[in-house]
Amino acid sequence: MNRKDIANALRDMGLDNGATVMLHSSMLSLGNVDGGPEAVIDAFLDAVGPQGTLMVPVFGALGILTEIVKKRPEAVISPCSKGTVAAIGAKAKILCAGHGAGKTVHGDSSPYTRLAELNGVICLLGVDQDRNTTLHAVEALLELPYLSDTTGTYTMPNGATQEKTWQYYPGPHRDFIGLERFLRAENAITVHRLGNAQVRLIKAKDLFAIGLRLGRQNPAFALCDNPACEACVKQRAAINRDRCQHEAFHLTASARLAGKYLPEIIDNLKAAGLDAVELDYLQGKACAGMSAEKLAGAVQELTAAGIAVSALRIPHIPEAAEPLLKLAAAAGITRVIMPLCPTSADAVAAAPQNGIRLAFADHGQPGQLAARDFAAFSTNPTCGFCFSATAFVKAGEMPFLQSYRLGRFVKTIEQLDLADMTWTEEPARLARGNAEIKELISILRCHHFTGWFSLGGGARFPGSLKDAADDLLKLIDAM
Ligand SMILES: [Zn+2]
């Protein structure tokens, strides 16, 4: 192939007079070209003509074609030290002007969004979507929660430089390759052959339209789902955390659901985007039966990892309440959840001097009975009700339509256990059993509930913590 062959081939693909092209390329993919890489760049400039423009990204590991564009005397280099581009042609100045003057590198007023405004085309020559920098622009416009700040230099029009921090800068890994199928499904990509290379052409406008739509439907759209990819696990956690920060409720999870040993529990909480845990079981044993030293050590390890302890949970009716409150206090825990039972009054009496807030959970009594037993403490400001829908299922009641309503728990509830169960007492995924979990979550959100939602609290969950967190977010998204 020579310069003329390539220019003709590009025109046949639609890169012709006046086109504005963002080129990502691998010279190696082309095979032998008379005149080498210089001839390839000349061919692109021939194809688009004097009214056209050729732009390339000039950051990271540069390919030879990119180096050539950058070094040409007529090239305009954008003034942002991150996501920098070089352009040659009629629109080069428009594309590059003020790049980095805004709050993002890739978003509004960047060469990437201007490419779309100018009806430009993205050309992937022998490379795949992994190299498609314009996808960063889609992420930046969506202001995705896993993006972070970056610092670099911006060169002002007068030539002076200033240090700047930009928002919504991309992280280490995404599955851009997996997005091509969406472009194909909407006929937004054409694939051609040039020498040995595959050439992909995408209208920048189409990429933005499809990418923005996918991202609004699912902020994790560009992430890979490989559980071994630490980058994407972290980025998903950031999305979940952001999602919950827009809610009034606080989210915690049963330690038993999060894992067996502390390091595993901490990793799983972080991957699910949680900052709190309810200590019920550690290493298969009830935390209520641990020594104060051991429990305090666990609390310290969790705190050091940025995980708060939302409560010590007593799974069984205790013979005496006071030693358990002392245990919690000695371990630095300020909230205890225990079954609503005859020792509840002792616990209430001992709570103030131990600095403990109490929550009493139903454990098999019908709603009206539980409400009656709780009535003695319901005006006590240091006590709240922990609503265990699965325990009401065990009692044969519809947890929302009967237990919640008849017991008038709306005033006293401070925790909803997020677990589900069928009438035959089979543990179920959230809203897949008879616990009316969706109804309970919905009504509490309607009341701007600021208490705790506890994933896997008080009951077995048939899945992982990640499954439980996914279930909750899916339910909320579907409300
Ligand atoms: Zn990944």
Mean pLDDT, the chain, rounded, equals 95
What's the pLDDT band for 62 if we cut at 50, 70, 90? confident
More confident residue, 146 or 411: 146
Q: Residue 478's pLDDT is what? A: 87
Q: Domains in the chain, please, with CATH?
A: 3-217 (no CATH), 247-477 (3.20.20.150)
Residue 35 pLDDT > 80, yes or no? yes
Predicted pLDDT of residue 60:
79
The token pair at 210 is 């499809």
Residue 237 has pLDDT above 90, yes or no: yes
User: Which residues fall within 8 angstroms of residue 123, CB to CB, at 6 or more apart?
Assistant: 15, 21, 22, 23, 24, 25, 199, 200, 201
Enter the DSSP assignment of 178: G
Q: How far apart are CA 140 and CA 361, in angstroms?
A: 45
Structure tokens of 327? Answer: 């245990």
CB-based contacts of 337, cutoff 8 Å, min separation 6: 278, 311, 312, 313, 314, 358, 359, 360, 361, 386, 415, 457, 458
Residue 61 has pLDDT above 80, yes or no: no
Which of helix, strand or coil describes residue 427?
A: strand
Instruction: Report the amino acid identity of residue 320.
Output: A
Give how far the C-alpha of residue 395 lies from the chain's centroid of Cα atoms, to the nearest Å: 38
Distance (Å, whole) CA 29 – CA 369: 75
Expressed in angstroms and rounded, the spacing between residue 26 Cα and the centre of ligand 1 is 23
As given in the structure block, the two tokens for residue 140 are: 């930046």
Mean pLDDT of 116-125: 97
Could you tell me the pLDDT band of residue 80, with boundaries at 50, 70 and 90? very high
Residue 259 Cα to ligand 1 middle (Å) = 23
CA neighbours within 13 Å on the CB side: how many for 70? 13
What pLDDT score was predicted for residue 381? Answer: 87
Query: Mind listing the pLDDT tens digit for each residue in 398-455?
Result: 999 999 998 889 889 999 999 999 999 999 999 999 999 999 999 999 999 999 999 9
CA of 474 to the centre of ligand 1 (A): 21
Please tell me the predicted confidence (pLDDT) of residue 172.
86
Q: How high is the pLDDT of residue 101?
A: 95
Cβ partners under 8 Å of residue 458, min gap 6: 254, 280, 313, 315, 337, 361, 386, 388, 390, 391, 417, 419
pLDDT at 179 over 90: yes
pLDDT digits (tens, 9 = 90+) for 243-277: 888 899 999 999 999 999 999 999 999 999 999 99
68 Cα: distance to centroid of ligand 1 (angstroms): 32
Q: Distance, CA 75 to ligand 1 centroid (Å)?
A: 35
pLDDT score for 379: 86
State the distance from the centre of ligand 1 to the C-alpha of 223, rounded, in angstroms.
Answer: 6
Ligand 1 centre from 224 Cα, in Å? 4
CA of 247 to the centre of ligand 1 (A): 27
453 SS3 class: strand
pLDDT in the model for residue 411 = 87
CA of 225 to the centre of ligand 1 (A): 7
Q: What are phi and psi of 373, to 5 degrees?
A: -65, -35
Query: Which residues surround the ion ligand 1 when the cut-off is CB under 5 Å?
Result: 173, 224, 229, 232
The yes-or-no verdict on residue 139 having pLDDT over 90 is yes
Task: Convert the pLDDT of each residue in 297-335 to its tens digit.
Answer: 999 999 999 999 999 999 999 999 999 999 999 999 999
Query: Exposed e or buried b for every residue in 143-169, given b needs 16+ CB within 10 A?
Result: ebbbbeebebebbeeeeeeeebebebb
Report CA(173)–ligand 1 centroid distance (Å): 5
> Residue 479 Cα, ligand 1 centroid: separation in angstroms?
29
pLDDT digits (tens, 9 = 90+) for 332-376: 999 999 999 988 999 999 999 999 999 999 999 999 999 999 998
DSSP H helical ranges for 190-343: 204-217, 230-245, 255-258, 262-271, 292-304, 322-330
In the numeric block, which tokens belong to residue 274?
């949680």
Instruction: Give 229 Cα–ligand 1 centroid separation in angstroms.
Output: 5
Tokens of 91: 């629109």
DSSP type of residue 379:
T
The pLDDT of residue 244 is: 87
Which one, of 421, 454, 452, 418, lies nearest residue 435 by Cα? 421
Distance 233 CA to ligand 1 centre (A): 7
418, 413, 392: which is closest to 472 by C-alpha? 418
For residue range 96-118, what is the model confidence (pLDDT) as tens digits?
Answer: 999 999 999 999 999 999 999 99
Give the whole-number percent of the chain exceeding pLDDT 70: 100
Sorting pLDDT into bands at 50, 70 and 90, what band is 477?
A: confident
Question: Quick one: average pLDDT of 71-90?
Answer: 97
Report the separation in Å between the CA atom of 329 and the middle of ligand 1, taken as the mean of its atom positions: 42
- b/e map 320-358, b = 16+ CB within 10 Å: ebbebbebbbebebebbbbbbbebbeebbebbeebebbb
Distance 470 CA to ligand 1 centre (A): 18
Share of the chain above pLDDT 90, in %: 92
Residue 289 CB neighbours (<10 A)? 14
Taking only the tens place, the pLDDT of each residue in 199-216 is 999 999 999 999 999 999
With bands split at pLDDT 50, 70 and 90, how would you rate the model's confidence at 171?
confident
